[in-house]
Structure 1
Amino acid sequence: MRELALIEQIRRDFGSAGSRAVALGIGDDCAILRPPAGTEVLVTTDFTLEGRHFRRDLHSPESVGHRCLARGLSDLAAMGATPMTAFLSLALPADLVTTAKGRGWIARFFRGLRSLAGRHDITLAGGDTAQSPADAILADIVLLGTAPRGRALRRSGAKPGDALYVTGALGGAAAELSSMLAHNVNPAKGSKAGEHPQTFPEPRVGVGQALLRRKLATACIDISDGISTDLAHLCRSSGVTAELEQAAIPLHPLASKLSPAAALSAALHGGEDYELLFAAPASVRMPRQLSGVPITRIGQFRHRQATRPLITLLEPDGSRATLEPQGWEHFSGR
């Protein structure tokens, strides 16, 4: 197999026939898209880098493909978008294309990506392939979604007095990764949703769409880098501060197995949970669930003041502590 054969295999696996969003997909110089009338197109792009975002000895090929797509889907979810289509640029070591074992890895990678794509009615409309200059896999995925014109959720809409909510449970991805690294284990996909938040995270696309459709949220962001970091982004964009109630933070069962300090760190700073963090007016009666996902109130927003920390952590004993962003940031050395 060489590059053209690889592209042809991808084209067969991700044929765009029948897709209302894609008029012309893989096989020409450009794709042709047709977004629904009255909508705007939202675009997000994410790298998946071997050694940084996954390890071949720990993450299965299906997990890598799933996570590659989930990263972009979570961004679309944070803005309430409906997924439209995807483009994938893939740089592979030569042995993955020229050996039977390598081709098996590629097939399983696309199996994981295709499985998640199918659940969200996404087709792969194009991309690029290249030989990696090193023995590492690099994937760059571009996702396009649509939202009603002028109504996409943003980070900048939170107001003083708004309540702070989070979807699902936190700390599971970091806890699972810690166990994988400690025991050098490559877990299989679980049979229950949320069983493996590190290897098979579930982007909250349905929740984001419900927040937009029902006009429940004033601002929203996905928790890909850790709540301490992503909440800080939302506060800066909205010009507010936040008070976060430690006792209200919903812990994932995997995080609950850690020591209390480690569980709290995983929930606040671990990242890769791909849950949604959002603001809503205090007067809104928030459902306990949206699209089958639990919703938890974990704090509130306050006026921005020079003497007030960007994020204050309200501890169970009533004390207050400044919560500094300690989640993931490239080039930070963390």
Structure 2
Amino acid sequence: MLTVYAAISMKKPSHPFGELGLIEQIRRDFATSSSAVKLGIGDDCAILRPPPGCEVLVTTDFTLEGRHFRRDSHPPESVGHRCLARGLSDLAAMGATPIAAFLSLALPSTMLAESAGRTWTKSFFNGLRALAELHSVPLAGGDTSESPGGRSALILADIVLIGSAPKGKALRRSGASPGDALYVTGQLGGAAAELATMLKRRRRTPNNKAAKTTEDHPHMFPEPRLDVGEALQRRGLATACLDISDGLSTDLAHLCRASGVNAEIEQEALPIHPFAGKLDAPAALHAALHGGEDYELLFAAPSSVRLPSSLAGVPLTRIGTLKARRAGHPLMTLLAPDGSHTELKPGGWEHFSKPVRTPKKPPR
């Protein structure tokens, strides 16, 4: 198989659980009988059977130690869960049904040589497998490698998700029109608030299996909204959709640019997660608008269509309206409770840029 991150050492491992042992363990733990996977782990390629009349959708996401997680603060089950959740959320945003997952994993050489490292790796796969089983997503292949750097090497994971949607029916960012209403699923700001709390503690959150839910841990165990995305696509309710991975303000800007519209957000309508609600008002608003990693869906729908208060058991909240693009007008505006408007600039996550600081005062 193609080695992505670094060449595997040709030396015979001094421990019994090397790369081949890891692959065999993965093969046993992720054995699948999915009708969509004709051939899974074991050969040079997997063989998939897309459903008839459907198009294939592909997404890929990195999970990088030091960027997306820290070994001293994130339980390995959370790292595995979030690795898969990132890709599943992309499929949800396009109304797709998962077919299979592929994982490329680079580990420090010491990980499989030491008991603590093998325990971490096993727990990582336990977290990934639990979410995969919940959504019937088979792991159909991937790659393993030794990451460079010796004892200071980092863990690198790349997840590829394959999904399907009826031809011409996948949800896009570019289909919204002026006059459409804007909605979000679930609640906002919880992931950012939990992450801030975790980093202040500077110690790993206990692994509590009973608390592995989005409500209890929106950052560590986010729930991709696959059922909502499929329902929006199947019922033709959404004109445009994407997931909130980089923050509402940043992802809304993507939708506006792709659809050629402006947006007005009502501050009072934002569904604030209880974790964010414990913060002071400016910090709570900042978490909801810019925090990111909520993995909720942001979508547009015609104002003439009456949407239910929830879909697939997930609350839907109308947060604003799309406007016609006008030269000289802000791409996005925020309507404050007192009726005043202020420009809303993208303030979420963007790679290769400096992080946005929490404002000292709320927008007026």
* TM-score normalised according to structure 2 size: 0.90
- Mapped to 2, the partners of 1:94 and 1:215 lie a distance apart of 49
Partner of 1:217: 238
SS of the aligned residue for 1:35 comes to: coil
Partner of 1:95: 110
Please tell me the root mean square deviation across aligned C-alpha atoms, in Å.
0.9
**Amino acid aligned to 1:145:** G
Partner of 2:223: 202
Cα deviation digits, residues 24-43 of structure 1 (max 9, x gap):
00000100000110001100
Cα deviation digits, residues 237-275 of structure 1 (max 9, x gap):
000000000000000000000000000000000100000
1:42 and 2:57 correspond? yes
Aligned length: 333
Q: Is the 8 A contact 2:246 2:350 kept in 1?
A: yes
Cα deviation digits, residues 172-223 of structure 1 (max 9, x gap):
0000011111122433441654210010011111100110111110000100
Partner of 1:231: 252
Q: Is the 8 A contact 1:163 1:279 kept in 2?
A: yes
Partner of 1:32: 47
Partner of 1:319: 340
SS of the aligned residue for 1:306 comes to: coil
Distance 1:192 1:49, change over 3 A: closer
SS of the aligned residue for 1:147 comes to: strand
1:52 and 2:70 correspond? no
- Mapped to 1, the partners of 2:239 and 2:212 lie a distance apart of 35
Partner of 2:163: 145
Q: Is the 8 A contact 2:213 2:222 kept in 1?
A: no
1:184 and 2:202 correspond? yes
Q: How much has 1:97 moved relative to structure 2?
A: 1.1
Q: How much has 1:98 moved relative to structure 2?
A: 1.3
Partner of 1:170: 188
Q: Is the 8 A contact 1:166 1:296 kept in 2?
A: yes
* TM-score normalised according to structure 1 size: 0.98
Q: Is the 8 A contact 1:81 1:152 kept in 2?
A: yes
- Mapped to 2, the partners of 1:56 and 1:42 lie a distance apart of 32
- Mapped to 1, the partners of 2:318 and 2:77 lie a distance apart of 34
Q: Is the 8 A contact 2:106 2:155 kept in 1?
A: yes
Partner of 2:22: 6
- Mapped to 2, the partners of 1:99 and 1:195 lie a distance apart of 32
1:84 and 2:99 correspond? yes
Q: Is the 8 A contact 1:165 1:277 kept in 2?
A: yes
Q: Is the 8 A contact 1:88 1:141 kept in 2?
A: yes
**Amino acid aligned to 1:309:** P
**Amino acid aligned to 1:91:** A
Cα deviation digits, residues 280-311 of structure 1 (max 9, x gap):
00011101001111000000000001121110
SS of the aligned residue for 1:251 comes to: coil
**Amino acid aligned to 1:29:** D
Q: Is the 8 A contact 1:80 1:212 kept in 2?
A: yes
SS of the aligned residue for 1:96 comes to: coil
Q: Is the 8 A contact 1:194 1:202 kept in 2?
A: no
SS of the aligned residue for 1:321 comes to: strand
Which of the numbers 262, 269, 274 marks the counterpart of 1:253? Answer: 274
SS of the aligned residue for 1:277 comes to: strand
- Mapped to 2, the partners of 1:138 and 1:191 lie a distance apart of 23
1:64 and 2:75 correspond? no
Which structure 1 residue ranges, 5 or more long, are not aligned?
A: none
**Amino acid aligned to 2:23:** I
Cα deviation digits, residues 41-86 of structure 1 (max 9, x gap):
1000000000000001110000000000000000000000001100
Q: Is the 8 A contact 1:25 1:32 kept in 2?
A: yes
SS of the aligned residue for 2:112 comes to: helix
Q: Which has the larger radius of gyration?
A: 2
Q: How much has 1:333 moved relative to structure 2?
A: 1.9
**Amino acid aligned to 1:320:** H
SS of the aligned residue for 1:195 comes to: coil
**Amino acid aligned to 1:118:** E
- Mapped to 1, the partners of 2:354 and 2:213 lie a distance apart of 35
- Mapped to 2, the partners of 1:116 and 1:194 lie a distance apart of 16
